[in-house]
């Protein structure tokens, strides 16, 4: 086995991150979430459990939401990533973010990036979700502040504004 440290197997991968093409050196053993945070400095993507439970590391990879602690960065080579920094595509809040703001859909904000990606994924598939649909859609995201009530309300408000 190779010794730990500078001799660890490494490579360079190409990514598109929030619309910007780039390359980055990685070690083969690095998880995508760690590359996103520590090498690409997109620290809006949070890291919690490293076990796929909490959902705070949720990003979009090639158009699908994923938990970025559950994939090696090497596996994502060539991929198109959107993090929370690129969520709205600009400096303004997008409509889902605005709904979370208006409905007090977060307290400490740690879970918020993952919640927003889960909410967008839901509304793209189901523009008029029921409360049960919303709760199901955020079942891969843990919030320890709110009890979820305002989060569910935020997603509902975002859906209503889109369809009204």
Question: DSSP states of 24-71 as a string?
Answer: EEEETT-BHHHIIIIIS--TTS----SSSSS-TTEEEETTEEEETTSS
Count Cβ atoms within 10 A of the Cβ of residue 140 and give its class: 0-12 exposed, 13-18 middle, 19 or more buried: middle
* 18, 42, 45, 58: which one binds another protein (CB under 8 A): 58
* 8, 14, 22, 108: which one binds another protein (CB under 8 A): 8
The residue assigned the tokens 């208006």 is 102
Task: Check residue 150 for interaction with another protein (CB under 8 A).
Answer: no
Phi, psi for residue 97 in degrees, rounded to 5: -60, -40
Q: Rounded to whole angstroms, how far apart are CA atoms 152 and 157?
A: 9
Which residues pair with residue 14 across a beta bridge? Answer: 23
Direct distance between the N- and C-terminal alpha carbons of the chain, in angstroms, rounded to an integer:
60
* 15, 36, 69, 111: which one binds another protein (CB under 8 A): 69
Task: Check residue 131 for interaction with another protein (CB under 8 A).
Answer: no
- Nearest distance in Å: CB 47, another protein: 10
Minimum CB distance to another protein smaller for 102 or for 133: 133
Minimum CB distance to another protein smaller for 17 or for 115: 115
Minimum CB distance to another protein smaller for 81 or for 118: 118
Residue ranges binding another protein (CB under 8 A):
1-4, 7-9, 11, 27-31, 34, 50-53, 55, 58, 64-67, 69-72, 74-75, 114, 117-118, 121, 135-141
């Amino acid at each position: 086995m190779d010794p730990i440290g500078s001799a660890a197997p490494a490579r360079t991968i190409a990514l598109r991150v929030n619309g910007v093409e780039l390359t980055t050196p990685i070690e083969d053993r690095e998880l995508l979430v760690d590359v996103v945070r520590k090498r690409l400095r997109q620290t809006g993507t949070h890291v919690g459990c490293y076990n796929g439970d909490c959902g705070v590391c949720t990003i979009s990879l090639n158009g699908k939401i994923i938990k970025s602690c559950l994939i090696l960065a090497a596996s994502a080579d060539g991929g198109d990533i959107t993090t929370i920094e690129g969520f709205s595509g600009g400096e303004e809040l997008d409509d889902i973010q605005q709904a979370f703001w208006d409905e007090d859909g977060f307290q400490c904000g740690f879970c918020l990036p993952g919640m927003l990606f889960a909410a967008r994924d839901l509304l793209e598939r189901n523009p008029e979700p029921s409360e049960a649909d919303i709760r199901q859609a955020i079942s891969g995201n843990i919030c320890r502040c709110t009890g979820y009530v305002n989060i569910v309300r935020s997603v509902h408000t975002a859906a209503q504004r889109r369809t009204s």
